[in-house]
Amino acid sequence: MKTRVAVLHGGRSGEHEVSIRSGSAVMAALDPARFEVVPILIHKDGRWDPRPIVPQPGANPGIDVVFPVLHGTFGEDGTVQGLLEMAALPYVGAGVFASAASMDKQQFKRLCTALDLPVVEWITLRHGDGALEAVARFGFPLFVKPANLGSSVGISKAHDEAELASALSEAALYDSKIIVERAIMGHEIECAVLGNDLPIAATPCEILPSREFYDYEDKYLLDAARVELPARLAPELIAEIRRLAVECFRAVDCSGMARVDFLVESATGRVYINELNTIPGFTSISMYPKMWDYEGLAFPRLLERLIDLALERHAARQALRYER
């Protein structure tokens, strides 16, 4: 019998359109000989089409596994993962804690710092308070980011106080908690990770933006950024990035998949972990599937592996006791 895969896509976040593109790519690539696709679109207003998953064990007998392709808030932050846990449904990707911890840039940086994993220096602001401290500590330029969002939505690079004020206003549209970071000049690197208890990292790629940094327009609208796969780095740096990607994956107790993004500072050669994406893009330009394709794991086989990992993780969790 075919495995029935419910593909959740859309969502309530600012990355709704990107999620639809990712979900469409996943549904098109799932092998029809093995899988039956159940598309579930979540509209921007929160409506589920055709119907919601009922958060009660045994209430979804027609679904074998859920593939959430929901980027950003209410999809990648642990909320939908909690719903699926309540419904006792297997699902692809990270669990509740890993999702929430990776989505919140402040908490993610704190976890990495506690485990001596290198992250860029930062300050957390609420409602813009403390911006002058960031300028005093780091100088310009600075990156300003909403603490909980992805796909570079709401992110700006500020070169002076006027741009900083504008950047803070833009970020505040998406979150009351704002991250201000020292700007790193150098290489933008992405590394794909796959697995549960024994994760492995693919050969990383390098993003060559057409703009000053790899922003939303460059990622999804302009089609002008270039990618080098493998990244144009020395072999020892490639090996270090792959090692750090796996260590970062483990640090947040991730499972299934993740794309870990790095910055390599040109002046010092230092490697910094930028962020971990628990639901990376699956669009035609997304690098997570391309990195695994480079390793010989084609897109349809990658999706099969992710579903197998979801079922494996679910079976292990079901073997645990939740009462005396």
Joined tokens for residue 202: 């693919």
Same-domain pairing of 29 and 129: no
**Residue 213 buriedness (CB in 10 A; 0-12 / 13-18 / 19+):** middle
Comparison of pLDDT for 285 and 65, the residue scoring more:
65
Comparison of pLDDT for 222 and 65, the residue scoring more:
65
Domain count of the fold of the chain: 3
Residue 208 forms beta bridges with which residues? Answer: 226
Q: What is residue 73's DSSP assignment?
A: T
Comparison of pLDDT for 13 and 117, the residue scoring more:
117
For residue 139, pLDDT beyond 70: yes
Same-domain pairing of 191 and 293: yes
d(CA 315, CA 285): 33
Q: Who's near 144: CB < 8 A, 6+ residues apart?
A: 155, 156, 157, 158, 164, 167, 168, 170, 171, 178, 179, 180
Same-domain pairing of 210 and 110: yes
Q: What is the pLDDT of residues 208-266, one digit of tens each?
A: 876 665 556 655 555 667 899 999 999 999 999 999 999 999 999 999 999 999 999 99
For residue 161, pLDDT beyond 60: yes
Same-domain pairing of 56 and 81: yes
d(CA 82, CA 66): 13
Instruction: Give the pLDDT of residue 136.
Output: 92
Q: For residue 143, what are the domain limits?
A: 122-182
Q: What is the pLDDT of residues 28-48, one digit of tens each?
A: 999 999 999 999 999 999 999
Same-domain pairing of 52 and 199: no
C-alpha 102: how far from chain center = 8
**CA atoms in the 13 A half-sphere facing the CB of 207:** 25
Same-domain pairing of 294 and 192: yes
Tell me the whole-structure pTM to 2 decimals. Answer: 0.92
Q: Which residue stretches of 104-260 are H helix?
A: 105-114, 131-138, 161-172, 216-220, 235-251
Residue 76 lies in a domain: yes
Joined tokens for residue 236: 């020892």
User: What CATH number is given to the structural domain containing 229?
Assistant: 3.30.470.20
Which residues are known to be catalytic?
15, 151, 220, 259, 261, 275, 277, 281
Q: Who's near 60: CB < 8 A, 6+ residues apart?
A: 53, 54, 87, 89
Residue 266 lies in a domain: yes
Instruction: Give the pLDDT of residue 151.
Output: 54
